[in-house]
Amino acid sequence: MSLDSTLAAEYPAHIAEVSKRATVALERGGFDHLVIPSGVLRYQVFDDRDYAFAVNPNFKYWVPITNAPSSWIVFTPGSKPKLIFMQPHDYWHSVPQDPSGYWVDQFDIVIIREADEALKHLPSSGKLAILGEENSALGSFVPNNPAPVLDYLDYHRHSKTPYEITMMREATRIGVLGHLAAEKAFREGKSEFAIHLAYQEATQQEPFDLPYMNIIGLNENGAVLHYTNRARTAPPKLLSFLIDAGASFGGYASDITRTYSYVQDEFQAMVDAVDKAELELCAMVVPGVDYKEIHMATHMEMSQILNDFGVITCSPEAALAGRISNAFFPHGIGHPIGLQVHDVAGFHAADTGGRIERPVGQPYLRLTRELMENSVVTIEPGIYFIQMLLDEVRATDATKDVNWDRVAEFMPYGGIRIEDNVVARSSSAPLNLTREEFAKARS
């Protein structure tokens, strides 16, 4: 079955589920209508140049439209959803094409030419829940983002419909093409900037299409977690390459990281060890598991690898207790992903709100709740050689548990991160979207 046929078959059930969730959310808050602006263009200060448009995630939850500023979704329980689609008369810019495709039959669609025309198509009575940014206000229609509505919708967005998983699979497929092209450019001795261009060429996505800025680091730059400088010349000696880059499809994101050594050396052996551990951690992605447990298991796994390679001399338990593991693995094991790279409700205790705090001493974990059926999360363990963090360890009693000569050997390589996007399923093993698409691309 083609991608379009699959999406056409899955979308009606998706919009039915989204409508069902919206109905409950409105009942929870005592509202009659759900109104969602797509967002408006923003202009740079003291200039007439606009920033790249970023659509309201709540808007693209309903429709696969990512570039239609000043459009609106209106949902009233028991009625067909309405799309108010802004298609301006404009010869300065590209104008959005008429809505078309597998999804349009599920909506009443009204096309407007001026933003203010939306006013006559928005609800004229009843209590409104308006989800969006303050600058999306139009007349009396001002986003109020009521907590009971957002809490419910955000919490349940954690569980993806089959349609959403198909969208994310396609975003992953596109991202994998970029990763393969980037690895080839690295092997050819290209610069970080040239590798980035190779990625864009393979994915056919502009920077504003990508779900986040590509992280492409050679050698020690792999130790900068969000490195985006992209040097225009390659280093005199290539040692390693870390790429954290995703792709977008219909408003959904993929988020993939790989690390390579330029030759088959000890650093590549450590990369392989992290890769093996990452697959073990991915196997823990099942409904009902506490994501915090995966994070803490990662500290033990990474510490064991550090011990195996002679970087630390203490046990994994001692490395965790002494915060040595935090110096080498200073971020969270991952995050929810979907309409946003770091998707919503990672800390929600329930669909009525509340917060589940991070484990003590783990300030950067982005997800603390139990996984649901069809939760999609990233699993991204890593080992890094970051001077400022290691200096902090050196200044404590824990310095005795670190082999600083081994640290010096690995420091020029920067770091290692391996990241997959994984679906939690109760009926079978976790679905690793990333590994499946790499396997298909290489077959």
The CATH homologous superfamily to which domain 162-442 belongs is Creatinase/methionine aminopeptidase superfamily (3.90.230.10)
CATH topology agreement for domains 3-156 and 162-442: no
Q: Which residue has the tokens 């935090």?
A: 326
> How many whole angstroms separate alpha carbon 374 and alpha carbon 371?
8
pLDDT band at 372 (very low <50, low <70, confident <90, very high): very high
Please give the mean pLDDT across all residues of the chain.
Answer: 97
Query: Given a cut of 90, is residue 94 above it in pLDDT?
Result: no
Instruction: Select from 131, 145, 139, 136 the least CA-distant residue to 62.
Output: 131
pLDDT (tens digit per residue) in 293-346? 999 999 999 999 999 999 999 999 999 999 999 999 999 999 999 999 999 999
At residue 220, the pLDDT reads: 98
SS3 content of the chain, % helix, strand, coil (to 5): 40, 15, 45
Q: What percent of the chain has pLDDT over 70?
A: 100
Q: Report the DSSP pairing between strands 82-86 and 240-245.
A: unpaired
> How many whole angstroms separate alpha carbon 335 and alpha carbon 92?
40
Query: Given a cut of 90, is residue 423 above it in pLDDT?
Result: yes
pLDDT (tens digit per residue) in 144-183? 999 999 999 999 999 999 999 999 999 999 999 999 999 9
Mean pLDDT of 20-45: 97
The CA-atom distances, in angstroms, between 53 and each of 15, 110, 143, 377 are: 24, 21, 18, 26
> How many whole angstroms separate alpha carbon 394 and alpha carbon 322?
12
The CA-atom distances, in angstroms, between 412 and each of 22, 183, 218, 219, 403 are: 51, 19, 10, 6, 16
Structurally, what CATH architecture does the domain formed by 3-156 represent? 3-Layer(aba) Sandwich (3.40)
Non-local (6+) Cβ contacts of 79 within 8 A are: none
Instruction: Select from 60, 81, 276 the least CA-distant residue to 168.
Output: 60
Residues, the chain, total?
443
Q: What percent of the chain has pLDDT over 90?
A: 96
> How many whole angstroms separate alpha carbon 110 and alpha carbon 71?
10
Query: Given a cut of 90, is residue 136 above it in pLDDT?
Result: yes
At residue 334, the pLDDT reads: 98
DSSP secondary-structure letter at 341? S
At residue 93, the pLDDT reads: 87
> How many whole angstroms separate alpha carbon 155 and alpha carbon 31?
18
Mean pLDDT of 19-43: 97
Mean pLDDT of 252-259: 98
pTM of the predicted structure, to 2 decimals:
0.97
Enumerate the domain spans of the chain: 3-156, 162-442
Instruction: Select from 339, 360, 353 the least CA-distant residue to 295.
Output: 360
Mean pLDDT of 256-280: 98
Query: Given a cut of 90, is residue 48 above it in pLDDT?
Result: no
pLDDT band at 224 (very low <50, low <70, confident <90, very high): very high
